[in-house]
Structure 1
Amino acid sequence: MTRVSVQTEDFDLGQELARLREGDARVGGVVSFVGTVRDMNDGSSVSEMELEHYPGMTERALEEIVEQARARWPLYNALVIHRVGPLAPMEQIVLVAVSAAHRGEAFAACEFIIDYLKTDAPFWKKEQTPEGARWVDARISDDSAKAKWNPAGVRA
């Protein structure tokens, strides 16, 4: 099972993880990553972050990323939930979770998915700071994280 959702409403981490492994005795490991809104970024306090996306294209991009992970690791289930709209500090932004027979492949696949999501999914972030609203630029560190999955320039 692969499930991708782009939504405004929050998600319940416990319920989502239980659903990911429900009734599947093969599952030996579930790994998840939850991203949250920070109250500081690039030296300024952040009172709100608004996430925008390109409907349809965003979901397809996320599904393609999960399929790339499935091609690399034997996953049983994979889940990506990404929120859009205005979010306050400490609110959940994204959940990436996978289940597999073993922890190693689950950890690797979860990290791969979030690394690719940060660079390849069409999301735009705007922060509200004391200096005013500003768009968040792409980060070199995100490109570097993605590049580690693609050694020697081999296309993923």
Structure 2
Amino acid sequence: MRDWTARQWLVAALVAAGIVLVAGAVTGLIPNPLFTRMIEAPWWSYPVWIASAVLSGLLVASYLAPSAQLAAERSRDQRRTVVGAVLSFLAVGCPTCNKLVVLALGTSGAVTWFGPLQPVLAIGSLVLLGFALRARLRSARGCRVPAAGRP
């Protein structure tokens, strides 16, 4: 990340801000007239929401770097990114507002089973996003493309 361009930092900041706004609005962490939470967000939802947005922004920006990376590595990193982002969305969302959870478990099941599972989803999402970012940065560092005119 030391060698990142201003463009990569700008993309990272814009993507993180976009994720904060969209995920915050849809999960009701940002009060808005379109989505309201039926159950108050626990305290840990806010740091997980911000951390996952920052990690996702950094991940997206890391794909702007030139690299000669193998397609298999890129695919694995992308899977970690997608799974981590989905888990963070599920972790900070209202358990009874998630239609799929309510359909699968019912309202009481969403509160009884899914609600207590959300902190585990939050940790899992941050771990996956962290591993994906670490892998991207390592592979980008190992696959430097020399600047024009330099041996």
The TM-score, its normalising length taken from structure 1, stands at: 0.34
Q: More strand by proportion, 1 or 2? A: 1
Which of 1 and 2 has greater Rg?
2
The TM-score, its normalising length taken from structure 2, stands at: 0.35
Q: More helix by proportion, 1 or 2? A: 2
